[in-house]
Amino acid sequence: MAVPGAFRLPDLKVTHLKRLEDESIHIMREVAAEFRNPVMLYSIGKDSSVMLHLAQKAFYPSPPPFPLLHVDTTWKFQEMIRFRDEAARRAGMELIVHTNQEGLRQGVTPFTHGSSQYTGVMKTDALKQALTLHKFDAAFGGARRDEEKSRAKERIFSFRTENHGWDPKNQRPELWNLYNARIKPGESIRVFPLSNWTELDIWQYILKENIPIVPLYFAAERPVVHRDGQLIMVDDERLPLASGERPELKRVRFRTLGCYPLTAAMESSAASLPEIVEEMLVARSSERSGRLIDHDESGSMEKKKREGYF
């Protein structure tokens, strides 16, 4: 009966990564069992890669019993789009790509409408459109509590009204690992299976499990311009250049990935996973500082979340 090589001695000590993995798998199975029509938001970043990997583990040997949804603003890095299609194919999961067509028609871009309005239309509105269109009653997101202050108070099962709104003062108490999945038609739950992971945990898990991530995380020569003290990559010809602004090749990488005009690069020579992790351990600026949209004003993430942003 014994499986060769499968025996393991009783671990008297469970490592924190194993505890986190078990918890995330438990959460995902609860969602698959309790909701009619769940979806996994797939943003192509490292957290999404870990989330997808965990989903594959949770339902093995079945493929995850829900589709992936990517909200495409049309301004993602080209490498991200290639990676996205490949990841969905590898996982054997359906991939739904949604773009706010009305926003496109109105010509909403990061340059014409400012980062805050652009994010509202092409990300938040687009996400709400897709959730409403497909009648998803639960949506997984890869957000972590250590990312930002208002995220630290987020539930694992986070209730959203029919309009996808979040009321931070009126959240359901969440005890033990008993998640309340009951909703009325039209309402939904955002589910955050990585809530208790930190950035270091994510990297360490990627390293340990050998999880594929977008090459943009690794340092390479890339064309960038200096803007407001940050390095912006010229991913295609749509990036308007100010007079005198000239793309130059620099050895850079990204700590987080989003729309390329809104995602700052950092100068780095870290070209392998261990080098990235090592660099992060001595990092001097927190993760989201590479994301320009949080910098509009203090408390801006909380505002965006109330409006339905992930």
Partner 1 sequence: MSAIAAQNDDFSEYLTRHEEKDLLRFLTCGSVDDGKSTLIGRLLYDAKLLFEDQLASLKRDSRKHGTVGEDIDLALLVDGLEAEREQGITIDVAYRFFATDKRKFIVADTPGHEQYTRNMATGASTADLAVILIDARKGVLSQTRRHSFIASLLGIRNIVLAVNKIDLVDYSQSVFDAIVADYASFASGLSFESIVAIPLSARFGDNVMERSARLGWFSGPTLVEHLESVPVGTAASAAPFRMPVQWVNRPNLNFRGFAGTICSGSVHLGDEIVVAGSGRTSRVKAIVTADGELEQAFTGAAVTLTLEDEVDISRGDVLAAAAQRPEISDQFAAHLIWMSDEQLNPGRSYWIKIGTRTVSASFTEIKHKVDVNNFSKLAAKTLELNEVGLVNLSTQEPIAFEPYGVNKTMGGFIVIDRLSNLTVGAGMIEFGLRRATNIHWQALDVTKELRASAKGQKPVVLWFTGLSGAGKSTIANLVEKRLASLGKHTYLLDGDNVRHGLNRDLGFTEADRVENIRRVAEAAKLMVDAGLVVLASFISPFRAERDMAREALEPGEFIEIFVDTSLEVAEKRDPKGLYGRARAGMIKNFTGIDSPYETPVSPELVLAGGTKDPHDLAEEVVAHLQARGYLD
Listed in order, strand segments (DSSP E) in the chain are 38-41, 68-71, 95-98, 138-140, 157-160, 188-191, 220-227, 230-233, 248-253, 264-267
Nearer to partner 1, 207 or 225 (CB): 207
State which residue, 99 or 198, has the beta carbon closest to partner 1.
198
Give me the least distance between CB of 107 and partner 1, in Å please: 33
Taking the complex as a whole, the smallest distance from the CB of residue 122 to partner 1 amounts, in Å, to 25
Place of tokens 């309340």: 180
Shortest gap between Cβ of 217 and partner 1 (angstroms)? 17
Q: How far is the CB of 281 from partner 1 (least distance, A)?
A: 8
Q: Judged by CB, which is closer to partner 1: 7, or 105? A: 7
Complex with partner 1: residue 79 or 187, whichever CB lies closer: 187
**Closer of 100 and 195 to partner 1 (Cβ):** 195
Query: Minimum CB separation from partner 1 for residue 210, in Å?
Result: 12
Neighbours of 139 (CB within 10 A): 26
Whichever of 139 and 270 has its CB closer to partner 1, that residue is 270
On whether the CB atoms of residues 225 and 232 are closer than 8 A, the answer is: yes
- Give every strand in the sheet of 188-191, ordered side by side: 95-98, 68-71, 38-41, 138-140, 188-191, 157-160
CB 278 to partner 1: min, Å:
5
d(CA 66, CA 28): 11
